[in-house]
Chains A and B, each alone.
Chain A
């Protein structure tokens, strides 16, 4: 099992009010599965994604990912874990605007201890995998939205993490680009055995996943689809 969430809750203060976006959530995701999370705004999708990616910690419960109980890790350990185990794909790509596609994809490897030649090889492979081998030297401003997202996906997979989390990866793209991105994610799942958790509002995007779960008020409602 790649992901095991047991009674995971997350609360925080907003002023003097306690907000609980996730409440006693249980979830299991097998290795290699492509899971879609849907739900209205404020349902806790992004909070769950942040917990799974290790950029946030649960208030209570146990979160075991790739064999590590990340809910017990300290901040420094969590950062190191994140670098090896998770690739994050943002809705708005969040590429560094002054860096080229190559340099953006290389970012996760800069602290890995790999040699320059090894990094170059890995970045080249990642860019080739997303179909942008010929766009090494292009800055984000010189790429279309779909291409930017593919660079962001290359950045997410370049360190070869077993888990990819994607926060509405097609939310800012036209239909054709969105379709290509979803195909790419599926390929990564089937060919690279990546486990993918994707938050989306788009039913068409969710249809590309192996399974779709609905969240509402911090709790899972149903299991809609298994392909």
Chain B
């Protein structure tokens, strides 16, 4: 039997991390080495499988689902174990496995309190299984389960390993630990969105004929589903679930808190992968299954996206906490991703996918860096930091480089998504209000200026200048081997994607073109 037949290879991207997590559970708590090596091995094998998938992938048929299977699972509700990847999910799957490996490498000697590497590594692996599963699932129930599975490990990561500083919570009017507030807010907020998403899934199931949870089958039935009188509300339910995860303004407020409170690796995985589950859901499910309704809601999505871009960037300018600044920057960057999706064109969706990948590697790296700086300075207050470039040149230059990538510097990964989204907004799908989308394009362009503003300002505050008296005379260890091992692959990806975006477009363009053609004709 061939490795890729019957979904074997893809299933392994889910089950290898799960089995790994299980095995790590049997390792000794006193000696952490076996747990580390086992986790790394698991993650590397998973990454190897995804890379092999990328190599074996038939790019001429990138629009169709490959390496998949469709097994009976819960016959009572017609839920099946249906998996497969196309050109849209492939880059996301590779990204997910890639960042997981780096997260484990970085963790090697960076354990946030209360340490306990074994438990933390198990959570990373479970998270990986959930993320990979979401990207390969082609059945709504399966998708939903994986989509929710990722909540738990992240909830525990934030709640246990998170920021213990205390803050007064508005409305509750009481002082509480940030990690508790943030973890609960993250969980409940996402769960709230998921409830509506699940309702949407159920509505699709009950109104499909024959009743099915299969995404490809539902796409075939799109015309009938779209004709339902309440189809617009089904889309709204799905969109609500995905929008919380992205997150879109004004559903974003869990994000800065969760990111700021999360341990470094948690922030990295949250930014790099978890946010993308939302935007991926739009592309995978909401738009192809209910294209007409997507078109109906598109102007609203576009408006909220550009509000997110401007709002997120302005909020960044008000931050003192470096990590919170980076967290808010995600609101703006994901705004570009959603703007691309809202145009309902191949260019826009393509741009949003490369934007997702780019944001994954760039913002992931920024969170690594913020974590390492906190590790050394024991503060993230930008008023106190300064002269980092003089104190730790290697770390400082990587931070400068990554900030440049984050502000969308052409020639690096972040540019294509922003530029493509704006290009798409100039000529949105026929029938959409051109004036509105062009207004959104101009607003987004102004957003790029604000983005440059807060990143340059951050660099000046943190990196440049002479070290203040507080740090003078301190001996700081510049980036160590584990840090470099985790960061250099990201740096290389940022440059590689910037110089040769075909690494993503090669897979996505045929798939997206087909998706748009199927959804909107032409």
A and B associate: no
Please list the residues of chain A having a beta carbon within 8 angstroms of any beta carbon in chain B.
none
Please list the residues of chain B having a beta carbon within 8 angstroms of any beta carbon in chain A.
none
